[in-house]
Amino acid sequence: MAEIGIKELKSGVSRVIEEVSGGRSYVVTKRGQAAAVIMPIEEAEDLVLANAEEFVAMRRGAREAYRKGRSRPLRELS
Residues in the chain: 78
Domain ranges of the chain: 1-39, 41-70
pLDDT tens digit sequence for 52-65: 999 889 989 989 99
- Fold entry, domain 1-39: YefM-like fold (3.40.1620)
pLDDT in tens, 2-49: 999 999 999 999 999 999 999 999 999 999 999 999 999 999 999 888
